[in-house]
Structure 1
Amino acid sequence: MTFTSLELADFILRGIATGQLLHMGLAHGSTQPHAIRISQRATISCMVAYLWLTAPLPDQFYGHWRGLLLLLTDGLIYCLWLLASYSFRDHFSLVRLPLWLQGLLTLYAAWFAYFFVIQQGVGLFHTINHVLVIVLALHIVYLAIHDYQDDLLDKRRRARIQVTCLVCVYLVFLAGVELAPEFIRHHRLYSPTNAVLVVLALVTYTVYAKNNRLSEALAPAAVFTQPQTAPHPLRQKLDQFIDSKAYQQTGLNLAALADHLNCSEYQLRKYISTELGYRNFSDFLNQHRLTDASVQLSNPELSSTPILTIALNCGFGSIGPFNRAFKLRFDCTPSEYRQTRLKTSQLQ
């Protein structure tokens, strides 16, 4: 098998991109949570598979490996979705999903592997998967921007913007490829141009990530423990705010609290994340709101008070977010918590 100089250059560029991806997978993310590291490395594996499956080589060259490369290539968006979910949703976990949903996802993963490895991606599902790629890509954008204002970590806020821009560019590129005339997609310059763009994107991302320490954005927030000669100027103001239970205001956000404390949003974000160890503003509020709710649910005198009333009095806008936040913290529903606590108080 002989290759033209253009094809050889294409292979070299893909090799450079592969090396860069492998370096990213091995050298970065040591401080990140385990789930993020796993999904990040799975994403990198899929990107490497994409690079070599789209190389200027005939299908028969890959032999039995083509099915695996096809599986990883078409699974890229799913790995990206998992990476975005674990990165931008602090309490996300596949094991927390209902058992029936975990079962459905397991069956879907088995079918996905069978279709692309055994059937080599031949069938209607390949087209369906292209639609799912767009749906998941749009949902990644949603995950990145949905809690942007609630996020207290400045580096992760920048990462949200980066992800949104990159995914949008990817969608435009995908649409352009699908809508482009056939001769463009099969032009001899298309493959090396694609390889050049991948290398440039990886180099740009690596330099940006290193300069801005993006890997730290996904690590657990550290509480500032070094001795200080004087208390933080926001400490007394925030303590007074908490003591007055003003956090029970419905719809309270970071901007409103910063205005109330007469400080900038940046100062307040930095204080709550660095000094108090919270990664997002809603967790900070819920810590105090749920404590109040647990006290009221344990009070026999309030046993006839509807749980919705307690939730609203504590600052939650509706029962749904209250139930989810309560179960996440106490590992049971509010009604189960109330029943247990009231029975305990009756036995005492």
Structure 2
Amino acid sequence: MKLPKLLFISLAILSLNSGAKAQGREIESVVEYASPGVRGMGKPQGVVIKYERLPDFGIKSESDDPSLGNGEGRIRRHNKFSVRALAPLVNKPQTKVILGFDYELEEFNFAGLNESSYDLYRYLEDKNLKSIGLQLAYLHSLNVRNFYLIRVKGELNGDYTRDNIKISDYLKATVDLAYGWKKTPDFAIGVGLQWGYTFGRQRIYPGILYNRTFNPKWGVESIFPANVRLRYNANEKTLFYTGYRLEGASYDIFADETNLRRFGEIELRRTDIKGLLRMEREIYDFLWFGVEGGYRRYYRHRIFDEVGSTDELITNDLAGAGYVEVQLFLVPPRKWTERSSNR
């Protein structure tokens, strides 16, 4: 889920001390190895707890299968909760290896459901669609100008519970490759490919990294077309952002309690775009919080007759809606970064 965003965060934490320094014993010169980070970026987020809510929006569903038919309803709220942890296994000036774990769930609460309501809505009501992921990212600086990234991630995405989970039914893999150039301490660019689920179905998607700080107050952070953010540094403890973000997900589900059960394992894929405003603020040294709000518009939200299929069972049209998101996250303490900078 939200794979471009995860790649962006991986790049951020891998670029801890964005100009990684190495100094020989017998020379005074300091080598600043290339990385995707630039001056002015927010601190890498090691552990993040996040909650998001989208209140009250409509949904319409259509199917060419007469046994499923069409439906219409209202979603009272759409909740999302996630926990993510990223930790460095190797943190050398030229080479960084990051291990990451994340757990996410989302659920829908519908208004006025009863036994005659549309089958898909009755099935999704209070159903926890989950994602458990493990990733390994490798960043290597070739010299002071060039770097590359390799990231591999596996996720279990679907409606499973502790009692019925079967890894082969829910496992999805993602691979990211990127190569970049550090032009100056304030400017880094790169190109990359992702084999993943940004637009629901697993495909290869290109991306362009563009991180630039124009002056002490303003900068841009982006992996286009997945996300673009304009950054304003109010001070070292407060940052503001505005921009957009694409998010995608794919869930394998078994809707046994409905007419969908005759299809066995089916797949729900979604892609949406969010226009956002965001603030990040330090609470105490290593502890920060973030508040984000904006408008979400679904690009696609569909049910397919089997995993990886192109045959749509149900096409859902979800109305646009505002959303709010709150985060609490841990960053490296100042003494760690100061110690690393003085090496």
Same-fold status (TM-score > 0.5):
no
TM-score normalised according to structure 2 size: 0.24
More strand as a share of residues: 2
Please identify which structure carries the higher helix content: 1
Larger of the two Rg values belongs to structure: 1
TM-score scaled by structure 1? Answer: 0.24
